[in-house]
Amino acid sequence: MRGDRGMAFWNKESKGGGATSEQVLDVLKNVQDPDLRKDIVTLGFIRNLKVESGKVSFDLNLTTPACPVKDQMRDQAVALVKALPGVEDVEIKMTSEVRQAPQLDKTALAGVRNIVAVGSGKGGVGKSTIAVNIAAALAQAGARVGLLDGDIYGPTTPIMLGVEQPPRNVGNRMIPQEAAGLKFMSMGLLVKSDQPLIWRGPMAHKALQQCLFDTDWGELDYLMVDLPPGTGDVHLTLAQAVPLTGAVIVSTPQDVGLRISMKTLRMFQQTRVPILGIVENMSYYVCPHCNSQDYIFGHGGGTRAAEQLGIPFLGEVPLDLAIRTQSDVGQPIVIAQPDAASARTLRSIAEKVAAQVSIRNFEAPVLEVE
């Protein structure tokens, strides 16, 4: 996806005085994508540029619809082009095209652009809540999103998304359920919710492979995989079976929670899965009566760990009663109460994840076997 890609669409003629296409592109080179650290012309983001008697229009084609700096880049582009002599009107259409992670096109999941794992060292840190809300927020922004609940022993996404019916089968493929604007698949859909799964490792491995490869995901920009806690069979299967774009680590601010999360992080590093960042959950408690913030598990643990490890810190999610109640009734808070403070935090985390995915896809080395 280099800059020369849009060339064919560029209208080189300039009619009626005004600015030329070259001049427009020239000033647009001053708009940087802060995440990819290149200008939007070189990145090939400008498409369908038209310059006609003082009226300039083009598409700004970003690498994700959930771009956190979308408005900033658009406003900057409008201001710069408007300042050109002879330009009266600027019209920018915001579009996006999520890039595919290298190698993924050669697997059975060729229609999936990116697979992102969400993991934690121990259970109970709110991993599934974070995964469901990130997925729903990305879908809300306009991306095509799937969610695979990889926690085969304690699947919770069917409850959080309010759909517990088993998926339909077409041929030998399962049709994922849909809720909150996303497609999802979970062992919880295949097994009665009060029945435990008592499996040894090889069964876990097979179950994950089936949910991953035998589900008809169709075209997806992001497939989020909610992992079970720890570093077990499911993690290893996932890291070996598919090229992951990256992993998000969820932790609590408490030191012990963080230290255990480090193990999960190291496992991803050993299998060369890029760490997209740390989300700190249950960061503080907002008193519903007086609105004061209480850092009951300590403060700043996640930020410090991220700094030490040189990985992005994605945000602090408060202990908010509404997140829990919305999860229990099967409606992620980013959809049910989009203006709540915790929903805004989760949306910002989702945007940062999307931005990190774009960065990885520009940086990732390509592995080829001949």
Partner 1 sequence: MIIWADGVESHYFAPRLRGLCPCASCKDEMTGVRIILPIHISDDLEFRKIEIVGQYALQFEWSDGHHTGIYTFEYLRELAEEK
List contacts with partner 1 (CB under 8 A).
Answer: 103, 239-244, 270-273, 365, 367, 369
Q: How far is the CB of 300 from partner 1 (least distance, A)?
A: 32
Q: How far is the CB of 277 from partner 1 (least distance, A)?
A: 18
Is there a contact between 80 and 56 (Cβ–Cβ < 8 Å)? no
Q: Which is nearer to partner 1, 79 or 367 (CB)?
A: 367
Q: Which is nearer to partner 1, 82 or 106 (CB)?
A: 106
Contacts of 137 (CB under 8 A, 6+ apart): 66, 334, 346, 347, 349, 350, 351
Residue with structure tokens 């040189």? 310
Q: How far is the CB of 269 from partner 1 (least distance, A)?
A: 9
DSSP class per residue in 193-260: TTPPP---HHHHHHHHHHHHHSB---SBSEEEEEPPSSSSHHHHHHHHHS--SEEEEEE-SSHHHHHH
Q: How many beta carbons lie within 10 A of that of residue 294, not counting itself?
A: 12
Q: Which is nearer to partner 1, 271 or 303 (CB)?
A: 271
Is there a contact between 75 and 60 (Cβ–Cβ < 8 Å)? no
Q: How far is the CB of 102 from partner 1 (least distance, A)?
A: 8
Angle (CA) 337-339-340 rounded to 5° is 70
Q: How far is the CB of 321 from partner 1 (least distance, A)?
A: 39
Element (H, E) at 146: strand 145-149
Q: Which is nearer to partner 1, 117 or 354 (CB)?
A: 117
What is the distance between the alpha carbons of residues 299 and 138, in angstroms, rounded to a whole number?
Answer: 28
Q: Which is nearer to partner 1, 245 or 345 (CB)?
A: 245
Closest CA to 182 of 227, 221, 135, 131: 135
Is there a contact between 115 and 98 (Cβ–Cβ < 8 Å)? no
Enter the tokens of residue 176. Answer: 């994922």
Q: How far is the CB of 242 from partner 1 (least distance, A)?
A: 7
Three-state DSSP class for residue 350: helix
Residue 284 identity (one-letter amino acid): Y
Give the burial class of 4: count Cβ atoms within 10 A of its Cβ; 0-12 exposed, 13-18 middle, 19 or more buried. Answer: exposed
- Angle between helices 301-309 and 255-270 in degrees, nearest 10: 30
Q: Which is nearer to partner 1, 93 or 272 (CB)?
A: 272
Q: Which is nearer to partner 1, 80 or 248 (CB)?
A: 248
Q: How far is the CB of 240 from partner 1 (least distance, A)?
A: 5
What is the distance between the alpha carbons of residues 283 and 341, in angstroms, rounded to a whole number?
Answer: 13
Q: Which is nearer to partner 1, 132 or 275 (CB)?
A: 275
Q: Which is nearer to partner 1, 8 or 366 (CB)?
A: 366
